[in-house]
Structure 1
């Protein structure tokens, strides 16, 4: 019985650590995407057009 409890406690510790790392990874990934958007959204392009500026063509 004691061996079984040892195995379960190790499992719970591993699951807790993995869950924490997973949660931290998702939060940092969302923050990185918010900070560095890949390209302008359609709303920003239409806003530039409404202001009288053509969207810049690289």
Structure 2
């Protein structure tokens, strides 16, 4: 299972382009409401930007 089944999202930096075809595969999964696209969620990068990082091994 993978990108085409909606099991993960592309994680790219601002200056990075996805590998050829990956954006289209994600778009098809999103249009089909497959996997994680079947509900609303916050992309991991957006979550980290809003709430900070999560590292259970990091001392607080």
Q: Name the structure where helix makes up a greater proportion of residues.
A: 1
TM-score, normalization by structure 2: 0.24
In terms of Rg, which structure is larger? 1
